[in-house]
Structures are given as C-alpha cells and as structure tokens.
A and B are shown apart, each in its own frame.
Chain A
Amino acid sequence: SQKIEQNSEALNIQEGKTATLTCNYTNYSPAYLQWYRQDPGRGPVFLLLIRENEKEKRKERLKVTFDTTLKQSLFHITASQPADSATYLCALDGQDKIIFGKGTRLHILP
C-alpha cells in the first residue's frame, strides 16, 4: 500500500539558516505533490504544489524539489525566521483524494 514518511517528527534550526524537510514515499507514483503548513489549533494551509515533470518550484523563501527516481521531495525554507515555526505536511495525490504524511514540527530558534 502507499506509504509516506516525513523525515523526522521535529527539527530544530537556528534562525537565519536553511531548514530542509524530507518527504519520502513508497509503492506509489504520484503525479502531484503538495506541501502544507499547520499551526497549532488551526487547519493546514496550502504552500506549494509541484508536478512530477517539474524538478523544482520556488515561492519567495520556499523551495520544493521532486525526485521521482528517489521517490522523494525536499522542502527548503531559506533565511528561516521564528515565525516559520510550525508543522509542515507533505501530501500526495491518490485517486481523487490526497494522502498526507504525519508532518514535521519545525522549530526556528532565535
């Protein structure tokens, strides 16, 4: 069955550095991959979508890569700020529904 793994439950990064989050998947070949941000007590908020034929996508300080050979997506936040602290979820398309990973809690330390 389809399986999504996000590299770690929690990640601590010093302010100003680049945070890199990993999303791996198995038994699957998604056509699209999405990243969401979730703050405590709130629903997830869409950040970026990348297609299987796109290697990289950028939006301001965010960058997403999609390696269909490695079955992996990397999510980068450059010049990280304490306000970037949140849980980040990757999501893969799956026959009209989206399958979410468990998320990585990112803490940007001032």
Chain B
Amino acid sequence: GAGVSQSPSNKVTEKGKDVELRCDPISGHTALYWYRQSLGQGLEFLIYFQGNSAPDKSGLPSDRFSAERTGGSVSTLTIQRTQQEDSAVYLCASSLVLGQGRYEQYFGPGTRLTVT
C-alpha cells in the first residue's frame, strides 16, 4: 500500500511569503504528526492530530504557523510571512492511533523549505 506522501518535495520562497505544505497519511491512520528538522538537528515536534482535532499546539514555533486536518486524512501546515529561520525539512508522520509511543510512526519523505 501507499506510504505517507508529502508535497511539494522542495519549496523555495521569498522571505515574507506564505507557504502551504501538504501531507497525505496512510489510509486508516487516525494520528498524524508534523515535525521540523534543521540541518544537523534532531526532529522538533510541531503538532499532532487525532482525527481532525489538534489537542496540543504548544510545539508550533510562533503564531505564523498553523495546521489543519480535514476528513481525518489530509493535513496542511501553513507558514505565514516566512522568515529565513523557517528553512528546514518539514516531516509528516502517521500512526494507526494516538498511543503514547506504543505505536510506530510512518514518516513521509519530507518537504525541504528554503526561505531566501
């Protein structure tokens, strides 16, 4: 079956522009996660969804970041007024259910965002 897909794979944008990143999780996975990975750094947790609900938004770096999920499937991460420090690889993952680390996560290939 299809894995987690993300689009675009690469995005170059000018500082101050808005960008939208998309994630298609594995069909049937109710939990969806967004992470950010900067060069040489670990995975920084941003937000998770259980169904369409995001109970914990505390990981979002600033109010320029927002995310939504519709129909319990596709999710979009939006960054408004991008800054150079937003440059990173944005990874999406899904798991069968939300489960406090007892379920493995399946990651997409990521979107490499470069803000010039």
Contact A97 B43 (CB under 8 A): no
Partner of B102, one of A46, A93, A97, A103: A93
Return the chain B residue nearest A98 by Cβ: B101
Is there an interface contact between B42 and A89, defined as CB atoms closer than 8 Å?
yes
B-chain residues with CB within 8 Å of residue A103 when the two chains form the complex: 42
Query: In the assembled complex, which residues on chain A have CB atoms less than 8 Å from the CB atom of B25?
Result: none
> Count of chain A residues with Cβ under 8 Å from any Cβ of B?
27
B70 adjacent to chain A (CB < 8 Å): no
Instruction: Write the B95-109 contact mask toward A (1 if CB under 8 angstroms, else 0).
Output: 000111110111111
Distance to closest chain A CB from B75 (angstroms): 15
Q: Which residues of B contact A45 (CB under 8 A)?
A: 107
Interface of B is mostly: loop
Q: Contacts A93-B101, A96-B56 known; A43 to B91 CB distance under 8 Å?
A: yes
Q: How many residues of B contact A (CB 8 A)?
A: 26
Q: Is residue A109 contacting chain B, with contact meaning CB distance below 8 A?
A: no
Q: Determine chain A's interface SS by DSSP, over half rule.
A: strand
Given A43-B110, A96-B48, also A101-B42 (CB < 8 A):
yes
The closest CB in chain B to the CB of A101 belongs to B42
Question: Other than the known A43-B110, A91-B101, what 5 A-B pairs have Cβ atoms closer than 8 Å?
Answer: A31-B102, A89-B42, A95-B100, A96-B56, A97-B33
5 sampled A-B residue pairs with Cβ under 8 A: A43-B93, A49-B104, A96-B50, A96-B56, A96-B98
